[in-house]
Amino acid sequence: MDKADCFHLGYVAKLHGFKGEVSLFFDVTNPGDYANLDALFIDINGHLTPFFIESIRLKNKGFASVRLEGVNDEESARRLLRKDIYLPAQILPELSGLNFYDHEVVGFKVLDEKHGDIGVLGQVIDFKVNPLLQIIKGEKEILIPLREGVVTKVDREAKELHITSPEGLVALYLD
């Protein structure tokens, strides 16, 4: 499995006990969507390695306690710490309209209603209180709060994200 065929789900955050259980952090909008996983991929030295899940219990704020098949002691679990976790992109339902997955729009051209082409979407920074669109324009970084009404169109064919940025914000970055 290649990373290009997957989406980043989160990472192995810490040990959970001394018998091989780990805590995963799901870096997604709705961690509850992943409460019934039976397998995932962990990036070990640049290779996506499959792991089957024996048990999973969701905790607060995007964390889950997980027992992975074949990881039965603290030493085995410790080797997985801070490793990124992935799932195949094909398991995600296709979205339409203004709904999108964060990873889906990375690399899209961003067109602002007032300023036109303002750059390429670098990433969606998923802060709980104030998610941001990180747009790269040459050497400059533009951060736009991702609140309701900002995204006006997602053109998947043309790979464009149309937005209406807050008044004066883009000018602060570009002037």
| Residue range 3-91 in CATH 3.40.50.300 | no
Q: In angstroms, rounded to a whole number, what is the distance separating the alpha carbons of residues 123 and 132? A: 8
Residues of the chain with CATH 2.40.30.60: 3-91
- Quick one: pLDDT at residue 126? 78
| Residue range 102-174 in CATH 2.30.30.240 | yes
Q: In angstroms, rounded to a whole number, what is the distance separating the alpha carbons of residues 71 and 53? A: 10
- Quick one: pLDDT at residue 60? 83
Residues of the chain with CATH 2.30.30.240: 102-174
The pair of structure tokens assigned to 35 is 């409460």
pLDDT tens-place string over residues 68-116: 999 999 999 999 999 999 999 888 878 888 888 888 899 999 999 999 9
Does the pTM of the predicted model rise above 0.85?
Answer: no
